[in-house]
Amino acid sequence: MPKPRGRSAGRRRSVLIIGSEAQPFAKTGGLADVLGALPPALARLGWDATLVLPKYRGVSSGTRTDTFPLTVGAWTRDVGFFEAPLDDGARALLVDCPELYERDAPYGHGNIDYPDNPRRFAVLVRAALEHAARHGAPSVVHAHDWQAGLAPVYLRSLYAAHPVLAGTPSVFTIHNIAYQGLCEADWLPRLDLGWDQLAIDRLEYWGRVSLLKGGINDADMVTTVSRRYAEEIQTPEFGFGFDGIIQRRRADLAGILNGIDVQEWDPEHDHFLPAPFSAADLSGKAAAKAAVLARYGLPTGAATLARPLVGMVSRMVDQKGFDLIAAVADNLPRLDATFVVLGEGEDRYQRLWRTLAAAHPDRIGARIGFDESLAHLIEGGADMFLMPSRFEPCGLNQMYSQRYGTVPVVRAVGGLADTVRDAASSKAVKGRRATGVVFDAYTPEALLGALARALDLFGQPRKWRAMQRAGMQEDFSWHRSAQEYVKIYDRAIKKRLKGA
């Protein structure tokens, strides 16, 4: 094997992170929060961290530092690289290719993916690797979700004997196993992949090709975003057909809980809130509550201010429990609570919430769309935050909620189970105070039961305050998670040195 350049002992270790969205450049969900915060957190641990993502429409940051022709299959274009600094010395490289990335949205129109997504994201990966080949191999490549699933595959195929990149280890992180990057097999030659990849132990999945499967199979280490989800995806209930594929990699699988950006989500310094507040002085939270009610055109009188406000900020898809909410929709206006929801997604759920809000203008507010400032305001102003997810790899809003003294009401799955301690059961765990209300069964009864329990606790101010404060004292910062990633990077590097 040729001696890889750039990984010699004593040099600063470097990681090339590849993903499809990141704050502050582009965001549709939690992946963007993670990829915005992880590179600086790694930089703070002494790593040279470079994040590569597409330069989508509307992204104007960065300075062009390189341009070269890139060929993938029979497709050749000049691709540009815009470099933008991230916090703490990390950097982003935005891949400029207007034909592929200058579009209305990152992945598709409505729920329909762009038909050339396999090329769009293969080009992202190849651009990242070719840039590294020109500027020095990283110690490790860290690829995220199906969009970057070909990074480990290319490293083991096209680049296996490359003078610079040969032997580069890779780590693959699954943020959501339900999105599998499926395409027709005739894409293989167009992506520079041989027909040998169309095998059951390679990328083949029920006659098609899965880019997610490629990432899982070929990475040296595989991670996902909570311990619980790492267990769950080995079962048919949560594996979405990939449970067997994951089980084969279980020796190299780790669950690393996401951190949160504690500067961006900080009730003491959040410019989206009308007044700052903290665990020691929660009084500013009432101003946020009044502001949320006003933004939704709900009553702002004493009765509504005293009534618990339940918030939701979410993609409106089955994953997030919207079908369960639909099943209890008639009951919601009868509860002693006000509801505000912010989200976009499937038509039927958007319609349901619009209809509910129109029918109960004094109790239910619905905003369809993506609105970062309103998301912060809801986290600040709501009393409770509802996440009745069918599955939840990690989930970030339940952590944001705790930081804002907003008590999460969640289903015991994935990262929700790992980050919220239930009011009834955690009494038994010494010194670990309750931070929320957790329910198990994915049934309308269990959801209503959890809401009833939360409303009951709200009526007991001492207990409620204790829960709020316990949540606000939790440490969800990135430091610990980034340290765990470093351990995984080291394991991946060692595996390659041993010739695995």
Which is closer to ligand GLC, CB of 117 or CB of 176?
Answer: 176
Whether the Cβ atoms of residue 148 and residue 95 lie closer than 8 Å to each other? no
Which is closer to ligand ADP, CB of 28 or CB of 304?
Answer: 28
| Residue 260 near ligand ADP by CB under 6 A | no
Which is closer to ligand ADP, CB of 4 or CB of 255?
Answer: 255
Output b/e per residue, 120-137; b: 16+ Cβ within 10 A: bbbbbbbbbbbbbbebeb
Q: Map the footprint of ligand ADP across residues 183-222, applying CB under 6 A.
A: none
DSSP state of 26: B
**Binding region for ligand ADP (CB under 6 A) out of 115-123, 138-146, 338-346, 473-481:** 338-346
| Residue 34 near ligand GLC by CB under 6 A | yes
342 binds, among ligand GLC, ligand ADP, none (CB under 5 to 8 A by kind): ligand ADP
**For residue 66, how many C-alpha atoms fall within 13 Å in the half-sphere facing its CB?**
17
Q: Map the footprint of ligand ADP across residues 9-38, applying CB under 6 A.
A: 29-31, 33
Give one DSSP letter per residue of 139-164, joined into a string: SEEEEETGGGTHHHHHHHTTTTT-TT
> Coil, strand, or helix at residue 116?
coil
**Binding region for ligand ADP (CB under 6 A) out of 73-81, 313-321, 436-444, 473-481:** 313-321
Give the residue among 462, 392, 459, 415 at the shortest CA–CA distance from 434: 462
Q: Which of 102, 116, 371, 490 binds ligand ADP (CB under 6 A)?
A: 371
| Residue 176 near ligand GLC by CB under 6 A | yes
Write the CB contacts of 59 (distance below 8 Å, at least 6 apart in sequence).
Answer: 25, 26, 94
Q: Which of 21, 220, 232, 392 binds ligand GLC (CB under 6 A)?
A: 392
The CA angle 123-243-223, to the nearest 5 degrees, is: 55
Q: Which of 37, 59, 209, 225 binds ligand GLC (CB under 6 A)?
A: 225
Q: What are phi and psi of 312, to 5 degrees?
A: -145, 135
Q: Which of 7, 13, 131, 175 binds ligand GLC (CB under 6 A)?
A: 175
CB of 345 to ligand ADP, least distance (A): 9
- Burial (CB count within 10 angstroms: exposed 0-12, middle 13-18, buried 19+), residue 380: buried
CA 443 to chain centre: 25
Q: Which of 372, 440, 445, 456 binds ligand ADP (CB under 6 A)?
A: 372
Q: Map the footprint of ligand ADP across residues 380-399, applying CB under 6 A.
A: 394-397
Cα dihedral 273→275→276→282 (10° resolution): -110
313 binds, among ligand GLC, ligand ADP, none (CB under 5 to 8 A by kind): ligand ADP
| Residue 370 near ligand ADP by CB under 6 A | yes
Give the residue among 246, 223, 221 at the shortest CA–CA distance from 235: 246
> Coil, strand, or helix at residue 69?
strand
Q: Map the footprint of ligand GLC across residues 253-282, applying CB under 6 A.
A: 258
Which residues lie near ligand GLC (CB under 6 A)?
Answer: 29-31, 34, 175-176, 225, 258, 392-396, 415
Which residues lie near ligand ADP (CB under 6 A)?
Answer: 29-31, 33, 313-315, 342-344, 370-372, 375, 394-397
